[in-house]
């Protein structure tokens, strides 16, 4: 512990360590854990504050302190005093090294609690980093430079903290020493902030006047601010309510991570309890199936438990052998969460490549992984002014409200009620990068009211009657590659073999079903989605469907593949080099595109992503259309 007066730090260790280590360990063992985030830029004294917290809680070792002292003299900004910022401030070095400026996690402990601080850069271009840090925080310290008051960045940090559902906000008015601990100025800043906070839905916050540099109101109440009646920062951090405790009062939710099955006599469901408590004998419901049973026992290596609470990782066994697997949610039987497939959500875009509305991404929520598509945003939020702005997509660091739909129903809860069942990430299907984070707000009514109608004559019955296996022969390739010609030849051949077929041609479909669509990336994706759905219906009816579409994007072809049973989607790459297709230019389109009369033309000013592993590939430079068709038909055998 330390006491500070005029920056003379008096340093002493916890007496218990030396006098009674067992007693000390007992105290340490029972400490709780608070995770918090500090928001502010270097100028606000954020690094100085964190350095001060580490220093005051004795997290600085002698070798580090020696380095710090010499660094302070060499390059510090505080004259002969210790520059605490140098302890944590690697940002300048990071910029020089070209390393991503990122969230850094730091650790310290006091006699009451252990703390994990997510130290995030504060500038607008690092919104995604702050959102990342905020996602696991119980509390946010919003730093304000007392000389400057509430700035644009203060609003941004507060908005993001609120967006991520942080309930405890500390408004740390820093550098009070530089305004002579002036209460009037401090009160004015707090009043201004209160007005703003209320406008974004922050009803409560804890203001405090501090100096990270001088140590005022950090560990002890400062004599320089006799008018301040609250707690010092450290004491507030030590006593503020924990989210994990509040989560225990909510109904039981546990996402199943893994089915534990060491032998035939044991079947347990492993997961971390998100909210609520669970006991042997509790009635539970497994979602999405809705089946109910009771808890038989709670199994851990340390023995069976009589109670497990939110935050614990456990293995649950049921009284009945009901179906339950990874992705399912175990919930209180009388208070289950919702199941839906369309939602309104707020999405924070985190990738350099912008959102492509309509494209299929992986969505991970809890332990559920499904395909999802995001509509064009209703609006984006300007994080500085909170204004809503119209937008067609989401760029890096953009925050927008958009509808999202999943390819199958998922178990969820509004983010405001349950972070574990409302927070999700989006993953690009090609690069596997995490491209966005989002929060579900509510399910859309149309999803609740549209149900699948079970029909008695299924797809197998349709196919059996036709004595064939349904397939979708998906021809992809550049304009002019010969897709339609070859597909036509293949259909003729199949027809002669008494196969029931149907050819969906790109140009023809655009005269009817898709005549409302243009050629932007979004429209092209919608074009393929509709064709995929139609082709799937036809395959369900037992047909062999041939489609001839440029279908330039891998993600959309994979989306159609994912709609069908394994093996029914046959990707046929009509491989023609651009020069050859352009030289043929059967429809005169390349000439128009080159002249700038046609926008978004594949191969010219819009990309074509060739299949990486097509099921069948035909080279139209070496083969005639008839040869290519014959080759394809041979590859398809047998057809039953």
Partner 1 sequence: MTKTLTHLERLEAEAIHIMREVVAEAEKPVMLYSVGKDSAVMLHLARKAFYPSPPPFPLLHVDTTWKFKDMYALREKAARDAGMELIVHQNPEAIARGINPFDHGSLHTDMWKTEGLKQALDTYGFDVAFGGARRDEEKSRAKERIFSFRTATHGWDPKNQRPELWNLYNARKAKSESIRVFPISNWTELDIWQYIHLENIEIVPLYFSAPRPTVTRDGMLLMVDDERFPLQDGEVPVERSIRFRTLGCYPLTGAVESTASTLPEVIQEMLLTTTSERQGRAIDHDQAASMEKKKQEGYF
**Which residue in 159, 205, 228, 424 binds partner 1 (CB under 8 A)?**
424
Active site residue 222: no
Give the three-class secondary structure for 60: coil
Token output for 380: 């984006």
Distance of closest approach, residue 313 Cβ to partner 1, in angstroms: 4
- Cα atoms found within 13 Å of the Cα of residue 394, Cβ hemisphere only: 32
Among 46, 52, 113, 557, binds partner 1 (CB under 8 A): 113
- Residue 22 has a CB neighbour count (10 Å cut-off) of 8
CB-CB contact of 169 with 155 (8 Å): no
> Whose CA is closest to 557, among 569, 542, 566?
569
- Give the DSSP letter of residue 81: S
- CA–CA separation, 303 and 290 (whole Å): 29
Inter-residue contact 371 to 363 (CB < 8 Å): yes
Would you count residue 98 as binding partner 1 (CB under 8 A)?
yes
Among 131, 166, 202, 548, binds partner 1 (CB under 8 A): 131
The CB-of-327 to partner 1 minimum distance in angstroms stands at: 9
Q: Compose the 378-417 pattern: x for residues touching partner 1 by CB under 8 A, - for all others.
A: ----------------------------------------
Sheet holding 32-39, edge to edge: 104-109, 113-119, 32-39, 139-145, 168-174, 206-209
**Least CB distance from residue 109 to partner 1, whole Å?**
7
Residue placing its CB nearer to partner 1 in the complex, 458 or 610: 610
b/e sequence 331-369, b meaning 16+ C-beta within 10 Å: bbbeebbbbbbbbbbbbbbbbeebbbbbbbbbbbbbbbe
Instruction: Compute the half-sphere exposure of residue 511: CA atoms within 13 Å on the CB side of its CA.
Output: 4
CB atoms near residue 96 (< 10 Å)? 8
Distance of closest approach, residue 40 Cβ to partner 1, in angstroms: 18
Q: Which of 248, 382, 600, 606 binds partner 1 (CB under 8 A)?
A: 248
Is the Cβ of residue 273 or residue 560 nearer to partner 1 in the bound state? 273
From candidates 7, 70, 95, 107, binder to partner 1 by CB under 8 A: 107
One of 135, 481, 484, 551 is an active-site residue; which one?
551
Q: Per CB under 8 A, which of residues 320..339 are in contact with partner 1? A: 326
Minimum distance from CB of 334 to partner 1 (Å)?
Answer: 21
The residues in 135-164 that bind partner 1, with binding defined as CB under 8 A, are 135-136
Q: Which residue of 78, 90, 558, 600 would you call a contact of partner 1, by CB under 8 A?
A: 90
CB atoms within 10 A of CB 99: 11
Which one among 42, 427, 513, 517 touches partner 1, defined by CB under 8 A?
427
Kindly identify the residues of this chain, within the stretch 60-89, that bind partner 1 according to CB under 8 A.
61-64
| CB-based burial label for 307 (10 Å; 0-12, 13-18, 19+) | exposed
Question: Tokens 């304009």 — which residue?
Answer: 479
Residue 296 vs 510, nearer CB to partner 1:
296
String marking each residue 304-323 x if it binds partner 1 according to CB under 8 A: ---x-x-xxx-x--------
Taking the least distance from each CB to partner 1, the nearer of 351 and 504 is 351
User: How near is the Cβ of 91 to partner 1 at its closest, in Å?
Assistant: 11
Asked if the bond preceding 638 is cis, omega within 30° of 0, the reply is yes
Q: Which residues between 342 and 381 bind partner 1 (CB under 8 A)?
A: 350, 362, 364-367
Residue 252 or 473 having the CB closest to partner 1: 252
- Site mask, partner 1, residues 435-464, x = CB under 8 A? --x---------------------------
CB of 399 to partner 1, least distance (A): 14
Q: How far apart are CA 154 and CA 140, in angstroms?
A: 12
Residue 97 beta carbon to partner 1: minimum distance, rounded to whole angstroms:
8
Say if residues 411 and 337 touch (Cβ distance below 8 Å). yes
Shortest distance in whole angstroms from residue 354 CB to partner 1? 16
With CB under 8 A as the contact rule, the residue among 206, 244, 371, 375 that binds partner 1 is: 244
Q: How far is CA 106 from CA 56, 86, 353, 549, in A?
A: 14, 14, 31, 53
Residue number, 376 or 555, with CB nearest to partner 1: 555
Alpha-carbon 409 to chain mean position: 18
105 or 227, CB closer to partner 1? 105
Binding to partner 1, residues 257-276 (CB under 8 A): 257-258, 260-262, 266, 268, 270-272
- Applying CB under 8 A, which part among 55-63, 167-175, 536-544, 546-554 lies near partner 1? 55-63
Options 59-67, 524-532, 536-544, 579-587: segment touching partner 1 (CB under 8 A): 59-67
Of 345, 360, 491, the closest CA to residue 404 belongs to 345
Show the site string, 582-621: x = touches partner 1 by CB under 8 A, - = not: ----------------------------------------
- Virtual CA dihedral for 61, 63, 67, 69, nearest 10 degrees? 60
* Residue of 77, 300, 335, 385 interacting with partner 1 (CB under 8 A): 300
Residue 559 and residue 556: Cα distance in Å, rounded?
A: 5
- Stretch of residues binding partner 1 (CB under 8 A), selected from 175-183, 225-233, 244-252, 329-337: 244-252
235/534 with CB nearer partner 1: 235
Does residue 288 have a cis peptide bond before it, meaning omega lies within 30 degrees of 0? yes
Q: Which is nearer to partner 1, 328 or 491 (CB)?
A: 328
Instruction: Enumerate residues 13-52 that contact partner 1 by CB under 8 A.
Output: 13-14, 17-18, 21-22, 24-25, 28-33
Residues touching partner 1, count (CB under 8 A): 81
Contacts of 114 (CB under 8 A, 6+ apart): 31, 32, 33, 34, 107, 108
The region of 301-309, 452-460, 483-491, 618-626 touching partner 1 under the rule CB under 8 A is 301-309
Measured from the CB atom, the residue of 12 and 640 that comes closer to partner 1 is 12
Residues 6 or more apart in contact with residue 409 via CB below 8 angstroms: 288, 339, 340, 341, 447
- Whichever of 46 and 128 has its CB closer to partner 1, that residue is 128
| Cα separation, 33 vs 106, whole angstroms | 13
User: Residue 440's Cα: distance from chain center in Å?
Assistant: 11
HSE-CB for 164 with a 13 A CA cutoff? 27
The residues carrying an active-site annotation are 551
């Amino acid at each position: 512990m330390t006491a500070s007066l005029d920056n003379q730090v008096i340093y002493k260790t916890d007496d218990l360590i030396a006098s009674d280590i067992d007693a000390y360990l007992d105290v340490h063992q029972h400490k709780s854990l608070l995770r918090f985030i500090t928001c502010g830029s270097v100028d606000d004294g954020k690094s100085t504050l964190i350095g001060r917290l580490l220093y005051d809680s004795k997290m600085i070792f002698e070798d580090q302190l020696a380095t710090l002292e010499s660094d302070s003299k060499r390059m510090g900004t505080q004259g002969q005093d210790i520059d605490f910022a140098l302890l944590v401030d690697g940002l300048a070095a990071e910029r020089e090294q070209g390393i991503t400026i990122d969230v850094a996690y730091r650790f310290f402990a006091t006699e009451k609690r252990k703390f994990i601080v997510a130290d995030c850069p504060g500038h607008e271009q690092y919104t995604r980093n702050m959102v990342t840090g905020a996602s696991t925080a119980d509390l946010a310290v919003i730093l304000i430079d007392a000389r400057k008051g509430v700035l644009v960045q203060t609003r941004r940090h507060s908005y993001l903290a609120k967006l991520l559902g942080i309930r405890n906000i500390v408004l740390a008015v820093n550098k009070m020493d530089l305004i002579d601990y002036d209460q009037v100025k401090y009160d004015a800043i707090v009043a201004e902030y209160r007005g703003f906070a209320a406008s974004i839905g922050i009803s409560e916050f804890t203001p405090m006047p501090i100096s990270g540099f001088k140590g005022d109101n950090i560990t002890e109440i400062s004599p320089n601010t006799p008018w301040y009646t609250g707690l010092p920062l450290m004491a507030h951090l030590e006593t503020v309510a924990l989210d994990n405790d509040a989560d225990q009062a909510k109904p039981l939710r546990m996402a199943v991570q893994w089915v534990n099955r060491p032998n035939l006599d044991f079947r347990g469901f492993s997961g971390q309890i998100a909210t609520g408590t669970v006991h042997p004998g509790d009635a539970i419901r497994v979602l999405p199936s809705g089946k109910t049973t009771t808890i038989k026992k709670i199994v851990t290596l340390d023995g069976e438990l009589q109670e497990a609470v939110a935050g614990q990782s456990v293995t649950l066994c049921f009284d009945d052998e009901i179906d339950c697997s990874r992705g399912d949610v175990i919930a209180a039987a009388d208070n289950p969460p919702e199941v839906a497939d369309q939602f309104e959500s707020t999405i924070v875009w985190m990738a350099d490549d912008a959102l492509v509305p309509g494209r299929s991404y992986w969505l991970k929520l809890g332990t559920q992984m499904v395909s999802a598509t995001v509509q064009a945003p209703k609006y984006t939020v300007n994080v500085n002014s909170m204004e809503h702005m119209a937008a067609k997509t989401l760029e890096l660091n953009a925050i927008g409200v958009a509808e999202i739909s999943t390819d199958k129903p998922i178990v969820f809860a509004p983010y405001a009620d349950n972070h574990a069942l409302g927070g999700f990430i989006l993953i690009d299907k090609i690069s596997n990068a995490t491209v966005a984070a989002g929060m579900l707000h509510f399910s859309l009514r149309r999803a609740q009211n549209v149900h699948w109608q079970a029909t008695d004559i299924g797809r197998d019955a349709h196919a059996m009657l036709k004595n064939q296996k349904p397939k979708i022969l998906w021809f992809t390739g550049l304009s002019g590659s010969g897709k339609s010609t070859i597909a036509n030849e293949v259909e003729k051949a199949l027809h002669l073999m008494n196969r029931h077929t149907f050819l969906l041609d790109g140009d023809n479909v655009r005269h009817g079903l898709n005549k409302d669509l243009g050629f932007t990336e979004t429209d092209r994706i919608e074009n393929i989605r509709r064709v995929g759905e139609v082709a799937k219906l036809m395959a369900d009816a037992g047909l062999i469907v041939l489609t001839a579409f440029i279908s330039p994007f891998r993600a959309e072809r994979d989306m159609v593949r994912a709609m069908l049973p394994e093996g029914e989607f046959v990707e046929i790459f009509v491989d023609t080099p651009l020069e050859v297709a352009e030289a043929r230019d059967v429809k005169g389109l390349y000439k128009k595109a080159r002249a700038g009369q046609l926008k978004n033309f594949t191969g010219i000013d819009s990309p074509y992503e060739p299949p990486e592993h097509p099921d069948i590939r035909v080279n139209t430079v070496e083969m005639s259309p008839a040869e290519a068709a014959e080759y394809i038909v041979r590859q398809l055998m047998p057809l039953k």
